[in-house]
């Protein structure tokens, strides 16, 4: 199995560049499509991130297949905090109309933040677990070469769109349905593209896979939320 991937055609490649010594490097070209294997090795990381924001498949291949980025778990903790904050802000907003809840004061709301963080963690675990289950079931037929650790890494890294919550907090738009809906749509398209690149599958297959996982996640989240906050 070849170590790298050509970001243009998605085929395997032996190397990204050849080192002739003395600081002389030569960018490698793909045997199949004859284009540069990975032009992003020469790019500034900010430009790679910009292309990832624009959903360029090449940028995703560079990040997920040709680079050794390993901060996905740290990124996921920050994303969980963003998720928890939005849930907490929405809960707080709903509680302001409930005078009985409002009397519980700030400390009760703070506890709610921890509960929301726990809920966001469970949601992420359900999302990843559902994805692993679907891949395991379809492994024999559709994805014989799948590596689960690569899929988890791809899903966590491609959830960077959740950080768009931070501008919402700054602008005071934490209850904006349109903004939050667009953010979720952006995360969905990023996850789908990341799955397509990692699994080497078609766009509609990866979209369907992510959509099913999100649906299961939503239903479980709804059940847990109603279990925790339904008045008795
Ligand atoms: Zn190629």
Q: Where are the domains of the chain?
A: 4-66, 72-229
Residue given tokens 């789908």 in the structure block: 192
Q: Output the pLDDT for position 138.
A: 84
Q: Give Cα 45 to chain centroid, integer Å.
A: 18
- Distance (Å) from CA 33 to ligand 1 centroid: 4
Buried/exposed code over 150-173 (b: 16+ C-beta within 10 A; e: otherwise): ebbbbbbbbbbbbebbeebeeeee
pLDDT at res. 1: 60
Q: How far is the CA of 11 from the centre of ligand 1 (A)?
A: 6
pTM summary value: 0.87
Integer Rg of the chain from CA:
21
Would strands 4-5 and 12-13 be described as parallel, antiparallel, or unpaired? Answer: antiparallel
The pLDDT, as a whole number, for residue 216 is 95
Counting beta carbons within 10 angstroms of the beta carbon of residue 216, is it exposed (0 to 12), middle (13 to 18) or buried (19 or more)? middle
How much is the pLDDT for 143?
79
Residue 55 backbone phi and psi in degrees, to 5: 65, 35
Q: How far is the CA of 200 from the centre of ligand 1 (A)?
A: 14
> Which pLDDT score, from 0 to 100, does residue 155 have?
95
- Rounded CA-CA distance 227/231 in Å is 9
Residue 96 pLDDT: 59
- Is residue 187 within 8 Å of residue 161, measured between CB atoms? yes
What is the distance in A from the centroid of ligand 1 to the CA of 111? 53
For ligand 1, the distance from its centroid to the CA atom of residue 90, given in whole angstroms, is 47
Q: At what angle do helices 177-199 and 203-229 cross, to 10 degrees?
A: 130
Distance, CA of 48 to chain centre: 16
Compute CA 73 distance to the chain's CA centroid, rounded to the nearest angstrom.
11
Q: Which pLDDT belongs to residue 107? A: 54
Dihedral of CA 97/103/106/109: which sign? negative
Write out residues in the chain with pLDDT < 70, as ranges. Answer: 1-2, 94-109, 230-232
**Dihedral angle sign, alpha carbons of residues 7, 8, 14, 19:** negative
Contacts of 204 (CB under 8 A, 6+ apart): none
CA of 162 to the centre of ligand 1 (A): 32
CA of 129 to the centre of ligand 1 (A): 33
Query: What is the structure's pLDDT at 2?
Result: 65
Q: How far is CA 46 from CA 8, 123, 155, in A?
A: 20, 30, 20
Burial class (CB in 10 A: 0-12, 13-18, 19+), 193: buried
CA of 160 to the centre of ligand 1 (A): 27
How far is the centre of ligand 1, averaged over its atoms, from the C-alpha of 12 (Å)? 8
The span from the CA of 29 to the CA of 48, in Å, is 19
């Amino acid at each position: 199995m070849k170590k790298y991937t050509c970001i243009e055609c998605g085929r395997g490649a032996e190397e990204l560049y050849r080192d002739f010594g003395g600081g002389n490097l030569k960018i490698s070209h793909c045997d199949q499509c004859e284009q540069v294997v990975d032009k992003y090795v020469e790019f500034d990381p900010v430009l790679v991130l910009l292309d990832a924001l624009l959903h360029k498949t090449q940028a995703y291949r560079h990040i997920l297949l040709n680079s050794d980025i390993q901060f996905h778990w740290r990124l996921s903790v920050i994303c969980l905090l963003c998720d928890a904050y939005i849930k907490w802000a929405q809960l707080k907003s709903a509680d302001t109309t409930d005078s009985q809840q409002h009397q519980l004061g700030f400390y009760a709301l703070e506890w709610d933040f921890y509960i929301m963080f726990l809920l966001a963690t469970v949601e992420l675990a359900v999302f990843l677990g559902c994805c692993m289950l679907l891949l395991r079931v379809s492994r024999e037929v559709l994805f014989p070469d799948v590596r689960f650790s690569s899929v988890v890494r791809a899903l966590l890294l491609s959830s960077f769109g959740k950080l768009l919550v931070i501008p919402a907090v700054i602008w005071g738009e934490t209850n904006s349905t349109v903004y939050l809906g667009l953010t979720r749509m952006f995360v969905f398209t990023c996850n789908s593209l990341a799955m397509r690149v990692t699994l080497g599958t078609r766009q509609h297959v990866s979209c369907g896979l992510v959509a099913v996982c999100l649906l299961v996640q939503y239903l479980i989240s709804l059940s847990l939320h109603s279990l925790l906050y339904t008045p008795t």
